[in-house]
Structure 1
Amino acid sequence: MTAFWTEADYDDHELVEVVRDAKSGLTAIVALHSTHLGPGAGGTRFWHYPDPKDGLRDALRLSRGMSYKNAMAGLPMGGGKAVILADEDRTKTPELLAAFGDAVDALGGKYVTAEDVGISEADMVAVSQRTSYVSGLPVGEGQAGGDPGPFTAMGIYHGIKAAVAHKMGRDDLGGVRVALQGTGSVGGGVARLLAKDGAKLVVADVDEARAKTLAKEVGGEAVAPEQIMSVACDVFSPNALGAILDEEGIARLDCTIVAGGANNQLARPQHGKLLAERGILYAPDYVINAGGIISVALEYLCRTDGNPCDINEVRKRIALIPERLKAIWQESDETGVSADVVADRMAQKLIGR
């Protein structure tokens, strides 16, 4: 692995650490982008990378995105992310999770972890046996916490409604055609919320059986994963892995809005401008998908203070996501600067950069 400070996605990160524990087989990368507003908060991704450089890139990009996300969500948290480099079989053992928990604990509270792709609520419970710097844990009824996926989905749903209003001048979703990429906890949750409002859904997932099951449930259509970005629709909603919006991906789009929960949807900074040039309204990912971190952060902060956190406070904060998106789009419309750049500038100001 090359020196992290030579990577294109290195952005003056405060800390980048490679963790190795030969006994358990753990290899992980922890990246802290900024702790200007508080401890770096962001989930742990468990993924197999044929090239470890891709894991480093993810850690760098995702941690920076978490700095921006937490700042724009008004949370007293900085940005961090961890990536566990899984083997080809994605072997996950109690020993590996324990070693990872020890690594988080050794940072002394600079980094607070939670679920991300490949990590479950049960995994976070295991990690919490080794460190208190963890969130996304099971909580009592009516309290904030647990799986952040449904809260992420809630924010994306609100954001799609705001995008439809801004771009299409519509206050309802009846008949609006939405193509969703990814049908897991987040994508599936978004689909169910949209279906209740009468949206017409097309879904796809690498797990094609799961996509077909969801399509049947919501009265939609399932297509092959390689087809979803070319579907004629009003809204394309990416809710799987990131970096899909490059020259080729954007050229395939047949939509007027891109609004979804995947992190780092733009492959490179210039691709936001390319979307704008095509007349496609973009909802910056770290603004629209902040629902999960709002839940996770409030859970952690309340627990640190020794108080339960009311789930209604989480919902109240998630409901503010559309207003942040509207402010970004309004400035973009007025200045001609693409929405992603407007959002980045707002976030950078908040974290003192």
Structure 2
Amino acid sequence: MFALMQSTRTQSLHLFVDPPSGLRAVVAIHNEQLGPAMGGCRYLAYADDESAVTDAIRLAQGMSYKAALAGLAQGGGNAVIMRGAHVENRAALFEAFGRALDSLNGRFITAVDSGTSTLDMDCIAQSTSHVTSTTASGDPSAHAVIGVFAGIRATAMARLGTDNLEGLRIAVQGLGNVGFALAEQLHAAGAELLVSDLDAGKVRLAVEQFNAQPVTNDALVSTPCDIFAPCGVGQVLSGQSVTQLRCAAVAGSANNQLTTLQVADHLEKRGILYAPDYVINAGGLIYVALTHRGESLSTITAHLSRIPSRLTEVFGHAQAEKRSPARVAQMLAERLLYG
């Protein structure tokens, strides 16, 4: 645990338990150089405690990089609540987490993430003000989609020479709130969709509404396409899966897509352009951070519009330096965080 904290430069790790509600939670604060740490609150089942801690730390690091490259006055952090087999009272669980969060005195501000909703954030808000994406402030998913869609167009321009998505084969892995809405926008832009999700109902809906081609999760990675868009769980790009890819570019909304930076080097060697996840998927963080600060919709929209230009900047550096865009993005982020 300490080795991972040191290698990622994570500042602090906080563990919380509340037996009456069944709460077991991890909060990782990666960096506060640019402002209070902000990040999602995940509510998922984990194989063991170590997996939960590792997920929180890696997500927190990504949030620091995401905030820095998006030009936000926020640090990076992330929360993980371990989901048990049975929960007596979900509201009580999240209220307990709100009390735990409040004990950090504003060092970490949380928001929706995998497995949580705006209603869960409402429960957290009963005990602390250090929470956003409540029902009053709104779900950030729509703004995440805006950024990812614009980022896919920028990626297509950089790799394929056009930002016109009509006729492009795009494989969307994961049809959650962001993935499904992204598929809708891609379909409207004329893209040919390949889709997969563990939820067969969501796949059927995508087939009916977007004329998408259903593909199993295991087969999607190796299915020929122009752009592979990971929009589900993280760490989908490993040394093994990258050898199976048959696409020109990878650009999606999932966090922590790479198992290691060496995987990004492998993508580069194969001529597959990678859009760093914490650059392309910054839309949700931009929305929650600026909403929490009381900024106007026009200010939020202006920040969102910078995502494709930031991606293009990263691609330009990568091409000039013959390096992976992932390494370039990390260098730029760390320069902002550490000087």
After TM superposition, the score normalised by the length of structure 1 is 0.93
C-alpha distance in structure 2 between counterparts of 1:18 and 1:186, whole Å? 29
Matched, 1:203 2:195: yes
Checking the alignment, whether the CA contact within 8 Å between 1:178 and 1:237 is kept in structure 2 is yes
Aligned 1:197-236 pairs, distance under 5 A: 197-236=189-228
Question: 3-state DSSP class of the match of 1:7?
Answer: helix
Determine the structure 1 residue equivalent to 2:103: 106
C-alpha distance in structure 1 between counterparts of 2:89 and 2:312, whole Å? 42
Change (3 A) 1:89 1:247: farther
Change (3 A) 1:62 1:90: farther
Partner amino acid, structure 1, of 2:2: W
Query: C-alpha displacement at 1:9, in angstroms?
Result: 7.5
Query: C-alpha displacement at 1:103, in angstroms?
Result: 0.8
Partner amino acid, structure 2, of 1:281: L
C-alpha distance in structure 2 between counterparts of 1:91 and 1:257, whole Å? 44
Aligned 1:151-230 pairs, distance under 5 A: 151-230=143-222
After superposition, what is the alpha-carbon deviation per residue over 1:184-228, rounded to whole angstroms, capped at 9, x for unaligned?
A: 111011111111110110111010221121222112111122211
Which of 327, 333, 336 is equivalent to 1:347? 333
Determine the structure 1 residue equivalent to 2:123: 126
Checking the alignment, whether the CA contact within 8 Å between 2:38 and 2:76 is kept in structure 1 is yes
Determine the structure 2 residue equivalent to 1:329: 315
After superposition, what is the alpha-carbon deviation per residue over 1:124-162, rounded to whole angstroms, capped at 9, x for unaligned?
A: 0111011000000234xxxxx411111111111000000
- Name the % identity: 38
Question: 3-state DSSP class of the match of 1:19?
Answer: strand
Query: C-alpha displacement at 1:242, in angstroms?
Result: 0.6
After superposition, what is the alpha-carbon deviation per residue over 1:5-32, rounded to whole angstroms, capped at 9, x for unaligned?
A: 1337852211101111111110000000
Checking the alignment, whether the CA contact within 8 Å between 1:291 and 1:318 is kept in structure 2 is yes
Query: C-alpha displacement at 1:92, in angstroms?
Result: 5.6
Which of 226, 234, 255 is equivalent to 2:247? 255
Partner amino acid, structure 1, of 2:284: G
Query: C-alpha displacement at 1:321, in angstroms?
Result: 0.3
Checking the alignment, whether the CA contact within 8 Å between 1:208 and 1:224 is kept in structure 2 is no
Change (3 A) 1:23 1:89: closer
After superposition, what is the alpha-carbon deviation per residue over 1:219-246, rounded to whole angstroms, capped at 9, x for unaligned?
A: 2111122211111100000000111111
C-alpha distance in structure 2 between counterparts of 1:8 and 1:100, whole Å? 23
Q: How many residues align?
A: 339
Question: 3-state DSSP class of the match of 2:25?
Answer: strand
Question: 3-state DSSP class of the match of 2:16?
Answer: strand
Change (3 A) 1:341 1:48: same
Checking the alignment, whether the CA contact within 8 Å between 1:48 and 1:90 is kept in structure 2 is no
Aligned 1:263-302 pairs, distance under 5 A: 263-302=255-294
Matched, 1:135 2:132: yes
After superposition, what is the alpha-carbon deviation per residue over 1:259-285, rounded to whole angstroms, capped at 9, x for unaligned?
A: 001101000121110110110000000
C-alpha distance in structure 1 between counterparts of 2:173 and 2:336, whole Å? 31
Question: 3-state DSSP class of the match of 2:293?
Answer: helix
89-98 or 316-325: bigger deviation: 89-98
RMSD over aligned Cα, in angstroms? Answer: 1.3
C-alpha distance in structure 1 between counterparts of 2:224 and 2:114, whole Å? 28
Which of 303, 306, 327 is equivalent to 1:317? 303
Matched, 1:79 2:65: no
C-alpha distance in structure 2 between counterparts of 1:183 and 1:53, whole Å? 27
Checking the alignment, whether the CA contact within 8 Å between 2:21 and 2:89 is kept in structure 1 is no
C-alpha distance in structure 1 between counterparts of 2:333 and 2:172, whole Å? 27
27-36 or 10-19: bigger deviation: 10-19
Change (3 A) 1:112 1:72: same
Question: 3-state DSSP class of the match of 1:237?
Answer: strand
After superposition, what is the alpha-carbon deviation per residue over 1:305-353, rounded to whole angstroms, capped at 9, x for unaligned?
A: xxxx432322221111000000100010001111100000000011116
Partner amino acid, structure 2, of 1:69: K
Change (3 A) 1:272 1:278: same
Determine the structure 1 residue equivalent to 2:46: 49
Checking the alignment, whether the CA contact within 8 Å between 1:202 and 1:223 is kept in structure 2 is yes
